[in-house]
Amino acid sequence: MNVFRDSRAVAAGPPVGQALPSSSLRQRLSELRGPGVRPRSLDARALAALAANPGCRRRALLDGAGVDKGALAGALGSPTGYGQSQFAFVRGNAFEARVKADGGAELLRLVRERLDPGSPPPEPEGPGAVATPDLSAAGPEGRAARTALALREATAAGGWTLLDHPMLAVDVAGSPAYVEPDAVVVHPDGSWTVVEIKSFPVIDGSADAAKVGAAARQAAVYVLALEPVAAHAAAHTGRAVRVRDRVLLVCPKDFSNLPTAAPVDIRKQLATTRRQLARLTRVEEIAAALPEGTTFDLRLADDGKTPTRPAQELAAAVGAVGAAYAPECLAACELAFHCRKHARQEGAVEALGRGVRGELGGLRTIEEVLAAARPEGPGSDGPPGTPCEGPRAEAGPGDTAGSDAPTGPDDPTGPDAPTGPDDPTGPDAPAGPDDPAVLALRRAAALRAEALAAAAVPRTPADGPYVPRATAEGPAVPHPRAEEA
């Protein structure tokens, strides 16, 4: 996938509700990258990864500034093998060429069959044939303008049109990121459909859920990029233009190279991606909170590849921006190994997974979890070893960290929650003895202690060896030293 990133402001203006950054912000982002360092290209995969972890301020700032996270991770001593293999590229390109062969006849058949069965089928030739406009132009800006013109013309024509690798622009922190979907199909009714062609197989009608989810998040970026273009096309053509929120995912069928397709509803991914991109336009707030002089410049040597800046300085600069590590980051971010190492050193519960973090609520470290599980810990109402039999505290207006609390994107304890100083469940707000998570941990510890006590056999004499008691399944196993006694 060819993607481009331009450091200049969007000439046609930002999407509705988003503002272009000031020149001071652009200067600040340039300082974060380093003098003379061009911004790193952002593609749909990177934007989809942002949507998957919107609470990570570190990634939001680094991606918004266009910092090369792969080179940064290598300079920090935590290189990662994240990326797509060359074999996957070759296989994907070969499969995509087969799907789009013969002017996209097979692809259009799948689109009509799966998404628009009531529309007239495309004709092999003549007025009803599939149009495939030429989208070639100079530079990404020229290709994006040519794509917008082709979409307007196809909408006005009212027939089937296949756009092969169109170029679209997405506003990211005030700078346009150019993304390139596999295909966009214009229907006779004027609606537009994004087509994602992937090389992972669909076996017996099922595919890898994680890969399908990643493809859905990636397609959501393309749909967002098409929305402002659709608004302009509707204004010029006078027709109602709708970008469908159901995309077509095309994959190999079973173990063959024959294509099969399925519609994917991306409304949830669309809302999440839209919210995250809106947060990226406020990247100036994250940059303003950094210490004076913070920069991620690697100070490359004359060869342009070897970093000369000490790793300790880079680690301090990276550590100045809060991260929201989760095990899922290992498959989506170049800095995942670095963030995991520090999360383990700090004993953060995030290293155990987002589900565990959501269940533990205001308990932020493993030490806090272990301390809260002890009945004799702070806040206990009884002597050591007394189980907590009291009822669970009712959650008040500020108690949203219970074990039954939802963990959606709007939940302050969910995986998408921010972890800044204003977070009510952040490290500055320790859990009290009536916190539902604390009560659940102590209750679990008490039940475990009761189960162990019931299974134990009193020793006689007190300092004698432990002898397992007999069970219905068989006799007791004598301890080696018990026979000597």
Measured CA to CA, the distance from residue 29 to residue 40 in angstroms comes to 12
- Residue 211: pLDDT above 50? yes
Mean pLDDT over each residue of the chain, to the nearest integer: 79
pLDDT reported for residue 455: 83
pLDDT reported for residue 479: 47
- Helices in 40-85 by DSSP H: which ranges? 44-52, 57-65, 69-75
In terms of C-beta density within 10 A (0-12 exposed, 13-18 middle, 19 or more buried), how is residue 109 classed?
A: middle
Under 8 Å between Cβ of 147 and 217: no
Q: List C-alpha distances in Å: 26 to 6, 75, 83, 140, 281.
A: 12, 25, 28, 20, 12
pLDDT in tens, 346-400: 999 988 888 888 888 888 889 988 888 876 654 444 444 444 343 333 333 334 3
Q: Report pTM.
A: 0.67
**Of the given ranges (104-108, 209-213, 225-229, 394-398), which has the lowest mean pLDDT?**
394-398
Residue 461 banded pLDDT, cuts 50, 70, 90: low
Answer with the residue of higher pLDDT: 61 or 174.
Answer: 61
Phi-psi region of 238 (alpha: psi -120 to 50; beta: other; left: phi over 0): left
pLDDT reported for residue 391: 36
* Of 4, 53, 12, 111, the residue nearest 273 (C-alpha): 53
Q: Is the peptide bond before 121 cis (omega within 30 degrees of 0)?
A: no
Measured CA to CA, the distance from residue 269 to residue 404 in angstroms comes to 24
The percent of residues in the chain predicted with pLDDT above 70, rounded, is: 75
Under 8 Å between Cβ of 195 and 250: yes
pLDDT in tens, 324-350: 899 989 888 999 999 999 999 999 998
| Listed ranges 120-124, 131-135, 357-361; the one with the highest mean pLDDT | 131-135
DSSP state of 387: -
Q: Is 93 helix (H, G, I), strand (E, B) or coil?
A: helix
pLDDT reported for residue 392: 36
Amino acid at the residue 29: L
Q: What are phi and psi of 429, to 5 degrees?
A: -125, 80
Over range 396-417, report the average pLDDT. Answer: 40
For residue 105 the two structure tokens come to 């006849």
* Of 57, 54, 172, the residue nearest 409 (C-alpha): 54
Q: Quick count: other Cβ atoms within 10 Å of Cβ 97?
A: 10
**Of the given ranges (104-113, 120-129, 185-194, 259-268), which has the lowest mean pLDDT?**
120-129
Q: What are phi and psi of 409, to 5 degrees?
A: -65, -25
